[in-house]
Structure 1
Amino acid sequence: MSELPTWLKPIADAAADVSAGTLAPSLPAPPPDARPSAVLMLFAEHEGEPSVLLTERAATLRQHAGQISFPGGAQDPEDDGPTATALREAHEEVGLEPDGVSVLGRLPTLWLSYSNFAVTPVLATRDHLDGLRVVDEAEVAQVLRVPLDRLLDPEHRFSVVRGGWRGPAFDVGTPVPLWGFTAGVLARLLRVAGLERPWDESRTRPLPEPR
């Protein structure tokens, strides 16, 4: 892709400039023994609308069942870095062929302490999000193509809370909202990109119970 669409350029620029402290201010740096992993943040048009690729995780998973996430997972020994991991995982989960995918860059690596994963978000784009499907039913329940306008709509923004913890969330039309790591990365990236629209930051919902 020789020239980025107008709607994507601020996102790509923000990804190039964002720091780990801005992206996830509450997360410490990954320790040396953290397991490398990566997720694919794929933005492209779908049915004429700028959209992002997400998945609903399978309900049978031991961790994070039913949650909304980017395609991704742990780095395999044969992977040549985070980009290769993100593209391989997306191919295995939703059938994304790497041909035609333009990698725009990598965001800072973030540490998930509960799983000890060091996660690198890989920003990419392609001409469309057609033809993707559930390939690995053990990992993925459904493929989601969420319009960017829905993520930016103030009526679909809120925070989830449990005890003293609070985090960003989005209503993406699924029973379980988009929350947690994926929501945090998207929320802060869109804010840094200057795309966030004013929303009622006092609006909260209880954190979904684990499934």
Structure 2
Amino acid sequence: MPAGQLHRRISEALASFPRRAADPDGRKPAAVLIAIAESAGEHGIWLTERAPSLRAHAGQLALPGGKLDPGEDPQTAALRELHEELGILLPHSAILGLLDDYPTRSGYVMTPVVAWVGETPPLSPNPAEVAEVHWIPLTDLDVDPQFVPVPGSDRPAIQLPLLGGHLHAPTAAILHQFREVALRHRPTRVAHMEQPRFAWE
């Protein structure tokens, strides 16, 4: 799909989606960024593999993001984190919209922000935060989610078959909603979808 048409479709889908905010309920606000870029005529997003030296969730796959600094909104935090993690500086005008908040087992309320990058700029991954960067074409998100039981919960966890393995929630839940809402124009909720046991601990 041409870039202009894709940009318009995603913008319209997010604008018409009745996004749900979550009550923090003691959790810390955080934001993640789904940054849509184009490389060799193909649109996709980046997932980062978290550096092994990080205190929390080292080695896990994640969208660029982190907790909000004092006075920040999710949009500002998501753009800041993209710059800090991958060296990409985007203006606020690049933001296309937001998806539902996702409360995590690790004590955060994550707000997914969707932004348009355009042609892929040079990446400068921060080695203190990022061990590896993975390019995920949008077509690779067109997979059937899997739902598996989680000990200690009456809710199944969502998994997406990606990168030769399985991507887990919260990232899997957020990307599933992005596909359904932004790419397929199908209102879909994911906040009820469980995370794997290791995300609890």
Following the alignment from structure 2 to structure 1, what is the Cα–Cα distance between the partners of residues 168 and 14?
20
Bigger mean CA deviation after superposition, 185-194 or 125-134: 185-194
**Residue correspondence of structure 1 range 38-57 to structure 2 within 5 A:** 38-57=31-50
**Residue correspondence of structure 1 range 2-21 to structure 2 within 5 A:** 5-19=4-18
Which of 164, 170, 176 is the aligned partner of 2:160?
A: 170
Partner of 2:6, secondary structure, is: coil
Q: Deviations over 1:99-129 (max 9, x none)?
A: 59611122233322x2322221111012123
Partner of 1:189: 178
Give, in angstroms, the shift of residue 82 of structure 1. 1.2
Partner of 1:129: 120
Q: Deviations over 1:159-191 (max 9, x none)?
A: 4543355333223325x5322111111112322
Maintained 8 Å contact 2:31/2:78: yes
Partner of 1:24: none
TM-score of the two chains, using structure 2 as the length reference: 0.76
Partner of 1:95: 87
Q: Deviations over 1:19-63 (max 9, x none)?
A: 456xxxxxx932353322111111121222110122111233333
The answer to whether structure 1 residue 151 and structure 2 residue 144 are counterparts is: no
CA root-mean-square deviation? 3.1
Maintained 8 Å contact 1:96/1:132: yes
Quick one: structure 1 residues 153 and 138, their matched pair in 2 at CA, closer, same or farther if it must change by over 3 Å? same
Following the alignment from structure 2 to structure 1, what is the Cα–Cα distance between the partners of residues 11 and 158?
21
Following the alignment from structure 1 to structure 2, what is the Cα–Cα distance between the partners of residues 125 and 95?
15
Give, in angstroms, the shift of residue 4 of structure 1. 5.9
The answer to whether structure 1 residue 142 and structure 2 residue 132 are counterparts is: yes
Quick one: structure 1 residues 144 and 133, their matched pair in 2 at CA, closer, same or farther if it must change by over 3 Å? farther
Count of residue pairs the alignment pairs up: 187
Maintained 8 Å contact 1:38/1:82: yes
Structure 1 unaligned blocks of 5 or more: 22-27, 197-206
What fraction of aligned residue pairs are identical, expressed as a percent? 33
Maintained 8 Å contact 2:47/2:64: yes
Partner of 1:74: 67
